[in-house]
């Protein structure tokens, strides 16, 4: 049974320095072969202990078993060339070296089944597993085969659907699809993005979530955010569409952002994972900082629909900073929980 205001995290956590270079996206592994496999399992044990100690109710593997939230999945698929990368503009705002789609994409075998089995056996808590969303996958590569972002997105959605069904069957409680691209390509979100996401979640027997954010605290995103004006109203376009979709939960950025908090009321009927931890700063929130965000959110979302969460993944942060932020999240949620119980 989950408590009132169950806490969870958006996705990634920093990796130990013996596993991968710290504070770096897509950092290469420092181990190989069986030592790498063992190292990943040990890293998962560490992030589980950290989350449990911090009072996180729905825990994840912190993405310790993959190098990147999109490429970590795509590198296990056929039809994608990771040898000869191509520099392209992604999310409409920065250049990145991305893999190329050179043929039909296919999944030769389950990507995360073993990871999910290990995670399920390693904790008594509810578990979440994150996967990249179809539109964000399309936006993180160079297509030389499909000639249509929509067609490629649906090819990925088929693959993700098989994966998500398997994860649910292995006892995963929440499968989350990460769609930061939903905050950029509004016409495509309306025309086929939501439909591709629904294809990915069709028939999945556990809860499904969509995560839409303003990205990691990297320089390109900080510059982009400065260009968005005093009020960030991007969610106003996507939330009504998500509210009508079959997705159960929506994870969004809130802490320290210029998102007008009232926009979360557009997600009526959905669980709302409110970002109460800013991942773009090394400053560690106090429990009271977290509690303030939750109290504001409670004005717009029923208490049994609200899940205190992080704004985004924390992989680029120093480990001790991420640990402090997790502890603040757990403690801040506990403060508001106590207020609700004593007041009701
Ligand atoms: Zn994010």
d(CA 344, ligand 1 centre) in Å: 34
| Count of structural domains, the chain | 1
284 located within any domain: yes
Residue 266 has pLDDT above 80, yes or no: yes
- In the structure encoding, which two tokens stand for residue 29, read together? 């592994």
6 located within any domain: no
d(CA 178, ligand 1 centre) in Å: 7
d(CA 270, ligand 1 centre) in Å: 19
- Start-to-end CA distance of the chain, whole Å, equals 20
For residue 62, the domain's CATH number is 3.20.20.210
Q: What is the CA radius of gyration of the chain?
A: 19
pLDDT tens by residue, 130-183: 999 999 999 999 999 999 999 999 999 999 999 999 999 999 999 999 999 999
d(CA 342, ligand 1 centre) in Å: 34
284 contacts 250 by C-beta, under 8 angstroms? no
24 located within any domain: no
d(CA 11, ligand 1 centre) in Å: 8
> In whole angstroms, what is the distance from residue 156 CA to residue 165 CA?
14
17 located within any domain: no
Residue 221 has pLDDT above 90, yes or no: no
Residue 219 has pLDDT above 90, yes or no: no
d(CA 124, ligand 1 centre) in Å: 26
d(CA 87, ligand 1 centre) in Å: 22
329 contacts 54 by C-beta, under 8 angstroms? yes
| Domain of 170, in residue numbers | 33-343
15 located within any domain: no
Alpha helix positions (H), the chain: 33-54, 71-74, 113-122, 134-138, 149-169, 186-188, 194-201, 219-226, 235-243, 287-297, 319-343
Q: What contacts 213, CB < 8 A, 6 or more positions away?
A: 10, 180, 183, 251, 252, 253, 275, 311, 312
Q: How confident is the model at residue 344 (pLDDT cuts 50, 70, 90)?
A: low
138 contacts 128 by C-beta, under 8 angstroms? no
């Amino acid at each position: 049974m989950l408590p009132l205001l169950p806490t969870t995290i958006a996705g990634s956590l920093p990796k130990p320095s013996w596993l991968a270079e710290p504070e770096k996206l897509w950092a290469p592994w420092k181990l190989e072969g069986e030592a790498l496999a063992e190292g990943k399992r040990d890293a998962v044990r560490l992030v589980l202990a950290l989350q449990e100690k911090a009072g996180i109710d729905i825990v994840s593997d912190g993405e310790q078993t993959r190098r990147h939230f999109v490429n970590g999945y795509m590198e296990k698929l056929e039809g994608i060339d990771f040898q000869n990368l191509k520099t392209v503009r992604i999310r409409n705002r920065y250049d990145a070296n991305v893999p190329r789609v050179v043929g039909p994409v296919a999944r030769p075998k389950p990507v995360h089944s073993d990871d999910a089995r290990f995670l399920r056996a390693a904790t008594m808590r509810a578990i979440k597993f994150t996967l990249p969303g179809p539109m964000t996958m399309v936006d993180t590569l160079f297509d030389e085969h499909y000639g249509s972002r929509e067609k490629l997105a649906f090819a990925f959605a088929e693959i993700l659907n098989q994966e998500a069904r398997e994860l649910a069957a292995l006892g995963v409680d929440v499968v989350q699809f990460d769609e930061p691209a939903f905050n950029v390509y509004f016409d495509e979100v309306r025309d086929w993005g939501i439909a591709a996401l629904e294809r990915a979640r069709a028939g999945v027997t556990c809860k499904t979530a969509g995560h839409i954010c303003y990205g990691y605290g990297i320089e390109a995103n900080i510059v982009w955010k400065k260009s968005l004006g005093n009020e960030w109203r991007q969610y106003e376009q996507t939330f009504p569409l998500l509210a009508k979709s079959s997705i159960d939960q929506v994870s969004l950025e809130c802490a320290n952002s210029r998102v007008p908090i009232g926009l979360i009321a557009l997600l009526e009927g959905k669980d709302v994972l409110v970002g109460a931890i800013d991942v773009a700063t090394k400053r560690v929130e106090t429990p009271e900082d977290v509690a303030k965000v939750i109290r504001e959110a409670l004005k717009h979302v029923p208490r049994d629909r609200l899940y205190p969460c992080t704004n985004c993944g924390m992989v680029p942060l120093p480990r001790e900073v991420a640990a402090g932020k997790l502890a603040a999240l757990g403690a801040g949620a506990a403060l508001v929980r106590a207020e609700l119980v004593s007041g009701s």
